[in-house]
Structure 1
């Protein structure tokens, strides 16, 4: 039991640090990467750890100076996120992480808006089955982000249709 509590604590700390990194703190990105990298070594089959590791990698890519390093780190992060989804495809947290990363990567290079659409649609489908699955704020964010993903994929009409759903909420 002690090991589970320790992992939960480390995950919570890693999430907190990662959010600082998302907000632009480059040192927090490095720290989050270290936390999730170590966790990944001790928990190689933990899909949530794999997803956060992937997210931290993509942030390292965002902050890298050299273009090739940016692309390599982002791709490695995407690979880890895809691996996490394949390990636990019904996990809401993992789907949100991957969708948010895919939404923010340049479509012209990574071509992953369709993955974001798939993840956001999955989340909305789960919400339709269980209205407690997502909070009101999460629903608004998911619908807004789904619309953006459709725009990024060049599907303007579908993006507008999704935004109409947001207005109804």
Structure 2
């Protein structure tokens, strides 16, 4: 489900602010959330807008001072992200958002490592069916994240197996980064 062309510029601005928020800019999170609230009203049931809105809720939770507000915002954001997956379960960007968020939330409280495993596995399977679905940089990142999600879920054998099975891909990305740094 694409963003309506009339709202595309606003959505791109919200994504830019969202990404600044991911990097720690608290004001950008608030601005992104405000834009996404308006976009949700204009385009109800748009899975991608829902996903970014859910992500901003989790970021607002991250930045909250009170513990209960942190937990409530994060849970609300997860619920919205789950709804976005319900709206469009095949959307790569939504799966990446939810998987990365679930990986970073404390497992002891949110128990969402299995969701991260589901999302990362979905993405890797889709890439296996359609080579090029993921970029060369995304594959090793997702593999590392999948391994971490297994570790967080208390499945160290699966975590180790992922890294062992895909070690050549992870090394290839590392070699590419080192090559870029020397040029």
Normalising by structure 1, we get a TM-score of 0.96
Who is 1:97 aligned against? 97
Does residue 1:7 correspond to 2:23, yes or no?
no
Q: In angstroms, what is the RMSD of aligned CA positions?
A: 1.0
* C-alpha deviation, 1:164, in angstroms: 1.4
Who is 1:37 aligned against? 37
Q: Deviations over 1:104-124 (max 9, x none)?
A: 100000000000000000000
Who is 2:113 aligned against? 113
Number of matched pairs: 167
Who is 1:147 aligned against? 147
Q: Which runs of 5+ in 2 are unaligned?
A: 170-183
Q: Following superposition of structure 1 onto structure 2, how do residues 123-134 of structure 1 map, counting pairs within 5 Å?
A: 123-134=123-134
Q: Which runs of 5+ in 1 are unaligned?
A: none
**Aligned-partner Cα distance in 2 for 1:154–1:106:** 13
**Aligned-partner Cα distance in 2 for 1:8–1:164:** 41
Normalising by structure 2, we get a TM-score of 0.89
Does residue 1:46 correspond to 2:68, yes or no?
no
Q: Deviations over 1:28-75 (max 9, x none)?
A: 110111111111111111000000000000000000000000000000
Who is 1:77 aligned against? 77
Who is 1:22 aligned against? 22
**Aligned-partner Cα distance in 2 for 1:166–1:24:** 31
**Aligned-partner Cα distance in 2 for 1:6–1:162:** 43
Who is 1:156 aligned against? 156
**Aligned-partner Cα distance in 2 for 1:108–1:26:** 25
Does residue 1:122 correspond to 2:122, yes or no?
yes
* C-alpha deviation, 1:165, in angstroms: 3.0
**Aligned-partner Cα distance in 2 for 1:47–1:7:** 14
Who is 2:168 aligned against? 168
